[in-house]
Amino acid sequence: MVRPADGSRRGPLWLLGVLCLVLSLGVAACGGDDEGSSSSKQSGGNTAAKEKVKIGVSNTLIGNGWREEMICAVKAQALASGQVSEVLVHNVNGGAAEQIAGIRNLISSGAKAIIINPADREALNGVIKEADRRKIVVVAVDQAVTAPEAYVVTNDQVAYGRLGGEWLAEKLGGKGNVVEMRGIEGVPADEDRHQGFTEALKKHPDMKVVKQTFTQWQFAPAGKQALDLLNAGTKIDGIWTSGIDYTVVNAFKTAKKPYVPVIGADTNEFINQLLTLKDDGFEGAAVTNPATIGGVGTRIALDAIAGKNRPKKTTLTPEVWDATEDKATLQKYYDKSLPPTYSSQLEVKPYTTYSLDQLKGCQGPKA
Protein backbone atom coordinates (compact mmCIF):
# COMPACT_ATOMS: atom_id res chain seq x y z
CA MET A 1 0.00 0.00 0.00
CA VAL A 2 1.23 3.48 -0.84
CA ARG A 3 1.40 5.85 2.14
CA PRO A 4 0.75 9.56 1.72
CA ALA A 5 3.32 12.11 2.88
CA ASP A 6 1.62 12.62 6.23
CA GLY A 7 2.09 8.93 7.01
CA SER A 8 -1.62 8.19 7.25
CA ARG A 9 -3.10 5.14 5.63
CA ARG A 10 -5.51 5.64 2.69
CA GLY A 11 -7.18 2.92 0.72
CA PRO A 12 -7.50 2.07 -2.99
CA LEU A 13 -10.08 4.81 -3.58
CA TRP A 14 -7.44 7.42 -2.75
CA LEU A 15 -5.05 5.84 -5.25
CA LEU A 16 -7.75 5.79 -7.91
CA GLY A 17 -8.37 9.47 -7.32
CA VAL A 18 -4.69 10.26 -7.88
CA LEU A 19 -4.65 8.31 -11.11
CA CYS A 20 -7.79 10.12 -12.33
CA LEU A 21 -6.19 13.48 -11.58
CA VAL A 22 -3.13 12.59 -13.63
CA LEU A 23 -5.14 11.29 -16.53
CA SER A 24 -7.41 14.35 -16.57
CA LEU A 25 -4.45 16.51 -17.57
CA GLY A 26 -4.51 14.89 -21.04
CA VAL A 27 -8.11 13.69 -21.44
CA ALA A 28 -11.43 13.89 -19.67
CA ALA A 29 -11.65 10.65 -17.61
CA CYS A 30 -12.91 9.04 -14.41
CA GLY A 31 -16.50 10.03 -14.52
CA GLY A 32 -15.94 12.43 -17.47
CA ASP A 33 -16.53 9.81 -20.16
CA ASP A 34 -20.29 10.26 -20.24
CA GLU A 35 -19.98 14.04 -20.32
CA GLY A 36 -17.40 13.87 -23.08
CA SER A 37 -19.61 11.56 -25.09
CA SER A 38 -22.55 13.92 -24.62
CA SER A 39 -20.44 16.89 -25.73
CA SER A 40 -19.32 15.00 -28.81
CA LYS A 41 -22.91 14.24 -29.75
CA GLN A 42 -23.90 17.85 -29.26
CA SER A 43 -21.07 19.02 -31.49
CA GLY A 44 -22.15 16.57 -34.15
CA GLY A 45 -25.68 17.90 -33.88
CA ASN A 46 -24.49 21.46 -34.49
CA THR A 47 -22.52 20.34 -37.51
CA ALA A 48 -25.60 18.69 -38.95
CA ALA A 49 -27.66 21.79 -38.32
CA LYS A 50 -25.15 23.86 -40.25
CA GLU A 51 -24.86 21.40 -43.14
CA LYS A 52 -25.40 23.14 -46.47
CA VAL A 53 -28.29 22.05 -48.68
CA LYS A 54 -29.01 21.78 -52.36
CA ILE A 55 -31.88 23.76 -53.84
CA GLY A 56 -33.49 23.34 -57.24
CA VAL A 57 -35.03 25.73 -59.77
CA SER A 58 -37.68 24.69 -62.30
CA ASN A 59 -38.12 27.05 -65.26
CA THR A 60 -40.15 26.46 -68.43
CA LEU A 61 -39.14 29.44 -70.55
CA ILE A 62 -35.64 29.54 -72.02
CA GLY A 63 -34.22 32.62 -73.74
CA ASN A 64 -36.36 35.05 -71.78
CA GLY A 65 -34.31 37.76 -70.05
CA TRP A 66 -36.76 38.11 -67.17
CA ARG A 67 -36.57 34.41 -66.35
CA GLU A 68 -32.78 34.44 -66.64
CA GLU A 69 -32.60 37.24 -64.09
CA MET A 70 -35.02 35.34 -61.85
CA ILE A 71 -32.64 32.37 -61.83
CA CYS A 72 -29.68 34.68 -61.18
CA ALA A 73 -31.53 36.07 -58.16
CA VAL A 74 -32.02 32.52 -56.84
CA LYS A 75 -28.30 31.83 -57.24
CA ALA A 76 -27.25 35.15 -55.71
CA GLN A 77 -29.48 34.74 -52.66
CA ALA A 78 -28.32 31.14 -52.23
CA LEU A 79 -24.70 32.32 -52.29
CA ALA A 80 -25.33 35.21 -49.92
CA SER A 81 -27.10 32.98 -47.41
CA GLY A 82 -24.09 30.73 -46.85
CA GLN A 83 -26.59 27.87 -46.39
CA VAL A 84 -26.56 26.37 -49.89
CA SER A 85 -24.02 24.03 -51.42
CA GLU A 86 -25.42 23.96 -54.95
CA VAL A 87 -28.24 25.36 -57.09
CA LEU A 88 -29.62 22.79 -59.52
CA VAL A 89 -31.42 24.38 -62.49
CA HIS A 90 -33.86 22.52 -64.72
CA ASN A 91 -34.53 24.62 -67.83
CA VAL A 92 -36.93 23.56 -70.56
CA ASN A 93 -39.23 25.22 -73.08
CA GLY A 94 -42.41 23.36 -72.34
CA GLY A 95 -45.60 23.02 -70.38
CA ALA A 96 -46.79 21.24 -67.27
CA ALA A 97 -45.77 17.73 -68.37
CA GLU A 98 -42.17 18.76 -69.02
CA GLN A 99 -42.08 20.70 -65.77
CA ILE A 100 -43.37 17.75 -63.74
CA ALA A 101 -40.60 15.56 -65.17
CA GLY A 102 -38.03 18.22 -64.29
CA ILE A 103 -39.31 18.61 -60.74
CA ARG A 104 -39.08 14.85 -60.23
CA ASN A 105 -35.46 14.99 -61.41
CA LEU A 106 -34.76 17.71 -58.85
CA ILE A 107 -36.40 15.62 -56.13
CA SER A 108 -34.19 12.65 -57.06
CA SER A 109 -31.11 14.90 -57.09
CA GLY A 110 -31.42 15.57 -53.37
CA ALA A 111 -32.77 19.12 -53.40
CA LYS A 112 -34.14 20.22 -50.03
CA ALA A 113 -36.12 23.06 -51.61
CA ILE A 114 -37.39 23.66 -55.14
CA ILE A 115 -38.21 27.10 -56.57
CA ILE A 116 -40.69 26.79 -59.43
CA ASN A 117 -42.14 29.25 -61.90
CA PRO A 118 -45.24 27.19 -62.65
CA ALA A 119 -46.54 26.50 -66.14
CA ASP A 120 -49.98 25.69 -64.76
CA ARG A 121 -51.99 26.66 -61.70
CA GLU A 122 -53.19 23.14 -60.79
CA ALA A 123 -51.40 20.55 -62.94
CA LEU A 124 -48.30 20.55 -60.72
CA ASN A 125 -50.21 19.85 -57.50
CA GLY A 126 -49.48 16.12 -57.59
CA VAL A 127 -45.72 16.45 -57.92
CA ILE A 128 -45.69 19.21 -55.30
CA LYS A 129 -47.39 16.77 -52.93
CA GLU A 130 -44.70 14.18 -53.79
CA ALA A 131 -42.02 16.68 -52.81
CA ASP A 132 -43.81 17.57 -49.60
CA ARG A 133 -43.99 13.90 -48.57
CA ARG A 134 -40.20 13.81 -48.85
CA LYS A 135 -39.89 16.93 -46.66
CA ILE A 136 -38.87 19.13 -49.59
CA VAL A 137 -39.94 22.76 -49.47
CA VAL A 138 -41.61 23.99 -52.67
CA VAL A 139 -41.96 27.71 -53.43
CA ALA A 140 -43.89 28.93 -56.48
CA VAL A 141 -42.60 32.33 -57.60
CA ASP A 142 -44.03 34.85 -60.08
CA GLN A 143 -47.12 32.73 -60.68
CA ALA A 144 -49.44 30.99 -58.25
CA VAL A 145 -50.30 27.33 -57.73
CA THR A 146 -53.24 25.98 -55.76
CA ALA A 147 -51.32 23.20 -53.96
CA PRO A 148 -51.73 23.83 -50.20
CA GLU A 149 -48.27 22.39 -49.54
CA ALA A 150 -46.50 25.08 -51.58
CA TYR A 151 -45.39 28.54 -50.55
CA VAL A 152 -46.54 31.11 -53.12
CA VAL A 153 -44.50 34.27 -53.74
CA THR A 154 -45.89 36.49 -56.49
CA ASN A 155 -46.31 39.97 -57.77
CA ASP A 156 -50.03 40.80 -57.70
CA GLN A 157 -50.62 39.88 -61.32
CA VAL A 158 -54.30 40.85 -61.41
CA ALA A 159 -53.32 44.30 -60.13
CA TYR A 160 -50.52 44.39 -62.74
CA GLY A 161 -53.06 44.07 -65.55
CA ARG A 162 -55.58 46.41 -63.95
CA LEU A 163 -53.11 49.22 -63.18
CA GLY A 164 -51.79 49.26 -66.74
CA GLY A 165 -55.31 49.20 -68.14
CA GLU A 166 -56.40 52.07 -65.90
CA TRP A 167 -53.40 54.17 -66.91
CA LEU A 168 -54.11 53.55 -70.59
CA ALA A 169 -57.81 54.39 -70.18
CA GLU A 170 -56.97 57.64 -68.44
CA LYS A 171 -54.40 58.58 -71.07
CA LEU A 172 -56.93 57.96 -73.88
CA GLY A 173 -59.78 59.74 -72.15
CA GLY A 174 -61.74 56.49 -71.75
CA LYS A 175 -62.19 55.78 -75.46
CA GLY A 176 -60.28 54.39 -78.42
CA ASN A 177 -58.96 51.23 -80.07
CA VAL A 178 -56.40 49.28 -78.06
CA VAL A 179 -54.27 46.20 -78.61
CA GLU A 180 -53.79 43.63 -75.85
CA MET A 181 -50.46 41.83 -76.21
CA ARG A 182 -50.54 38.91 -73.79
CA GLY A 183 -47.93 36.37 -72.68
CA ILE A 184 -48.36 32.59 -72.93
CA GLU A 185 -51.91 31.34 -73.24
CA GLY A 186 -53.12 29.31 -70.26
CA VAL A 187 -50.38 30.07 -67.75
CA PRO A 188 -51.39 31.64 -64.41
CA ALA A 189 -49.74 35.06 -64.79
CA ASP A 190 -51.22 35.58 -68.24
CA GLU A 191 -54.72 34.68 -67.07
CA ASP A 192 -54.44 36.94 -64.02
CA ARG A 193 -53.11 39.91 -65.99
CA HIS A 194 -55.82 39.48 -68.61
CA GLN A 195 -58.39 39.45 -65.82
CA GLY A 196 -57.06 42.71 -64.40
CA PHE A 197 -56.85 44.39 -67.81
CA THR A 198 -60.41 43.32 -68.63
CA GLU A 199 -61.66 44.66 -65.29
CA ALA A 200 -60.13 48.05 -66.07
CA LEU A 201 -61.69 48.26 -69.54
CA LYS A 202 -65.15 47.26 -68.31
CA LYS A 203 -65.34 50.68 -66.69
CA HIS A 204 -64.78 52.31 -70.09
CA PRO A 205 -67.30 50.94 -72.64
CA ASP A 206 -65.94 53.24 -75.35
CA MET A 207 -62.60 51.45 -75.29
CA LYS A 208 -62.39 48.52 -77.68
CA VAL A 209 -59.79 45.76 -77.95
CA VAL A 210 -59.31 45.56 -81.72
CA LYS A 211 -56.58 42.93 -81.58
CA GLN A 212 -55.31 40.42 -79.04
CA THR A 213 -52.01 38.59 -79.52
CA PHE A 214 -49.91 36.10 -77.56
CA THR A 215 -46.25 37.07 -77.57
CA GLN A 216 -45.02 33.95 -75.71
CA TRP A 217 -43.19 36.56 -73.61
CA GLN A 218 -40.55 36.81 -76.32
CA PHE A 219 -39.35 40.21 -77.50
CA ALA A 220 -38.68 39.49 -81.18
CA PRO A 221 -42.11 37.96 -81.90
CA ALA A 222 -43.81 40.82 -80.05
CA GLY A 223 -42.00 43.39 -82.18
CA LYS A 224 -43.00 41.51 -85.34
CA GLN A 225 -46.64 41.36 -84.23
CA ALA A 226 -46.70 45.11 -83.57
CA LEU A 227 -45.04 45.86 -86.91
CA ASP A 228 -47.56 43.71 -88.77
CA LEU A 229 -50.46 45.52 -87.08
CA LEU A 230 -49.05 48.93 -87.93
CA ASN A 231 -48.36 47.98 -91.55
CA ALA A 232 -51.86 46.52 -91.87
CA GLY A 233 -53.32 49.94 -91.25
CA THR A 234 -55.25 48.92 -88.13
CA LYS A 235 -56.38 52.01 -86.25
CA ILE A 236 -54.61 51.79 -82.91
CA ASP A 237 -54.86 54.38 -80.16
CA GLY A 238 -52.95 52.53 -77.44
CA ILE A 239 -51.17 49.25 -76.66
CA TRP A 240 -51.12 47.24 -73.44
CA THR A 241 -48.32 44.69 -73.23
CA SER A 242 -47.75 41.94 -70.72
CA GLY A 243 -44.19 43.12 -70.16
CA ILE A 244 -42.80 42.54 -73.68
CA ASP A 245 -42.47 46.18 -74.49
CA TYR A 246 -39.43 47.87 -76.00
CA THR A 247 -39.55 45.98 -79.31
CA VAL A 248 -43.18 47.09 -79.64
CA VAL A 249 -42.06 50.71 -79.29
CA ASN A 250 -39.30 50.10 -81.84
CA ALA A 251 -41.91 48.90 -84.34
CA PHE A 252 -43.36 52.41 -84.61
CA LYS A 253 -40.01 53.79 -85.73
CA THR A 254 -39.53 50.94 -88.20
CA ALA A 255 -43.01 51.46 -89.66
CA LYS A 256 -42.54 55.25 -89.63
CA LYS A 257 -45.78 55.65 -87.70
CA PRO A 258 -46.52 58.16 -84.91
CA TYR A 259 -46.25 56.75 -81.42
CA VAL A 260 -49.30 55.84 -79.34
CA PRO A 261 -49.29 55.30 -75.56
CA VAL A 262 -47.78 51.94 -74.58
CA ILE A 263 -47.92 50.06 -71.28
CA GLY A 264 -44.87 47.94 -70.51
CA ALA A 265 -42.96 46.54 -67.56
CA ASP A 266 -39.92 47.83 -65.70
CA THR A 267 -37.50 46.41 -68.28
CA ASN A 268 -34.27 48.32 -68.68
CA GLU A 269 -34.66 49.41 -72.32
CA PHE A 270 -38.33 50.33 -71.96
CA ILE A 271 -37.37 52.61 -69.06
CA ASN A 272 -34.74 54.16 -71.32
CA GLN A 273 -37.40 54.75 -73.99
CA LEU A 274 -39.69 56.41 -71.45
CA LEU A 275 -36.83 58.75 -70.54
CA THR A 276 -35.49 59.54 -74.01
CA LEU A 277 -38.39 59.40 -76.49
CA LYS A 278 -40.70 61.92 -74.88
CA ASP A 279 -39.52 64.68 -77.22
CA ASP A 280 -40.41 62.39 -80.14
CA GLY A 281 -43.98 62.17 -78.93
CA PHE A 282 -43.82 58.86 -77.07
CA GLU A 283 -45.84 58.42 -73.89
CA GLY A 284 -45.96 55.32 -71.77
CA ALA A 285 -45.81 53.82 -68.32
CA ALA A 286 -44.07 50.87 -66.72
CA VAL A 287 -45.82 48.52 -64.30
CA THR A 288 -43.32 46.90 -61.95
CA ASN A 289 -42.78 43.15 -61.91
CA PRO A 290 -39.35 42.39 -60.39
CA ALA A 291 -37.58 39.30 -61.69
CA THR A 292 -35.64 39.28 -58.43
CA ILE A 293 -38.70 37.69 -56.87
CA GLY A 294 -36.61 34.57 -57.40
CA GLY A 295 -34.39 35.78 -54.56
CA VAL A 296 -37.45 36.38 -52.39
CA GLY A 297 -38.60 32.82 -52.96
CA THR A 298 -35.14 31.52 -52.09
CA ARG A 299 -35.07 33.43 -48.82
CA ILE A 300 -38.47 32.04 -47.85
CA ALA A 301 -37.45 28.50 -48.82
CA LEU A 302 -34.30 28.62 -46.68
CA ASP A 303 -36.23 30.08 -43.75
CA ALA A 304 -38.75 27.25 -44.05
CA ILE A 305 -35.97 24.65 -44.08
CA ALA A 306 -34.59 26.26 -40.92
CA GLY A 307 -37.98 25.94 -39.24
CA LYS A 308 -38.81 29.63 -39.27
CA ASN A 309 -42.47 30.51 -39.49
CA ARG A 310 -43.26 32.07 -42.86
CA PRO A 311 -46.70 32.83 -44.33
CA LYS A 312 -47.77 30.52 -47.13
CA LYS A 313 -48.48 33.49 -49.41
CA THR A 314 -46.29 36.53 -50.01
CA THR A 315 -47.60 39.11 -52.48
CA LEU A 316 -45.70 42.10 -53.84
CA THR A 317 -47.72 45.16 -54.87
CA PRO A 318 -46.93 46.54 -58.34
CA GLU A 319 -46.38 50.23 -58.99
CA VAL A 320 -46.95 52.36 -62.10
CA TRP A 321 -44.03 54.52 -63.25
CA ASP A 322 -45.24 57.25 -65.57
CA ALA A 323 -42.79 58.87 -68.00
CA THR A 324 -43.83 62.35 -66.84
CA GLU A 325 -44.72 62.01 -63.18
CA ASP A 326 -42.07 59.49 -62.16
CA LYS A 327 -39.05 60.66 -64.12
CA ALA A 328 -36.78 60.63 -61.06
CA THR A 329 -37.75 57.04 -60.28
CA LEU A 330 -37.10 55.97 -63.87
CA GLN A 331 -33.70 57.66 -63.81
CA LYS A 332 -32.88 55.88 -60.56
CA TYR A 333 -33.61 52.44 -61.97
CA TYR A 334 -32.23 52.73 -65.50
CA ASP A 335 -28.76 51.22 -65.85
CA LYS A 336 -27.11 51.51 -69.26
CA SER A 337 -24.66 48.74 -68.36
CA LEU A 338 -27.43 46.15 -68.08
CA PRO A 339 -29.08 44.19 -70.92
CA PRO A 340 -32.26 45.71 -72.41
CA THR A 341 -34.45 42.88 -71.08
CA TYR A 342 -33.23 43.19 -67.49
CA SER A 343 -35.89 43.82 -64.88
CA SER A 344 -34.83 47.04 -63.16
CA GLN A 345 -35.61 46.31 -59.49
CA LEU A 346 -32.42 44.53 -58.53
CA GLU A 347 -33.39 44.08 -54.88
CA VAL A 348 -36.57 43.35 -52.96
CA LYS A 349 -36.00 44.43 -49.40
CA PRO A 350 -36.10 43.09 -46.74
CA TYR A 351 -36.08 39.69 -48.40
CA THR A 352 -33.00 39.77 -50.61
CA THR A 353 -29.58 40.13 -48.99
CA TYR A 354 -27.19 39.50 -51.89
CA SER A 355 -24.86 42.14 -53.26
CA LEU A 356 -25.49 43.62 -56.69
CA ASP A 357 -22.22 42.09 -57.87
CA GLN A 358 -23.49 38.66 -56.84
CA LEU A 359 -26.71 39.22 -58.76
CA LYS A 360 -25.11 40.60 -61.90
CA GLY A 361 -22.45 37.88 -61.83
CA CYS A 362 -25.15 35.20 -61.67
CA GLN A 363 -22.78 32.95 -59.79
CA GLY A 364 -24.30 30.64 -57.24
CA PRO A 365 -22.53 28.48 -54.67
CA LYS A 366 -20.07 25.96 -56.06
CA ALA A 367 -20.53 22.32 -55.16
DSSP code of residue 182: E
**Segment-wise mean pLDDT, segments of 10 residues, the chain, 367 residues:** 39 39 37 34 41 97 95 98 97 96 98 98 98 98 97 98 98 98 96 98 97 97 97 96 97 97 98 96 97 98 96 97 95 96 96 97 88
Burial 98-130 (b: 16+ CB within 10 A, else e): ebbebbeebbeeebbbbbbbbbbbebbbebbeb
pTM here is 0.85
Taking the alpha carbons at both ends of the chain, their separation in whole angstroms is 63
Cβ(59)–Cβ(89) below 8 Å = yes
Q: Which of 297, 298, 333 is nearest to 315 (CA)?
A: 297
Give the helix/strand (H/E) hosting 241.
strand 238-241
* Equal CATH topology for 49-156+290-316+344-361 and 157-287: yes
Using an 8 Å Cβ cutoff, are 286 and 315 in contact?
no
**Residue 148, preceding bond cis, omega within 30 degrees?**
no
**What single-letter amino acid sits at 108?**
S
pLDDT, position 35: 32
* 294 three-state secondary structure: helix
Domain 157-287 in CATH: superfamily?
Answer: Response regulator (3.40.50.2300)
Residue 70 and residue 118 in contact, taking contact as beta carbons nearer than 8 Å: no
| Domain residue spans of the chain | 49-156+290-316+344-361, 157-287
Q: Which CATH architecture has domain 49-156+290-316+344-361?
A: 3-Layer(aba) Sandwich (3.40)
The pLDDT, as a whole number, for residue 367 is 64
Q: Are 180 and 219 in contact (CB under 8 A)?
A: no
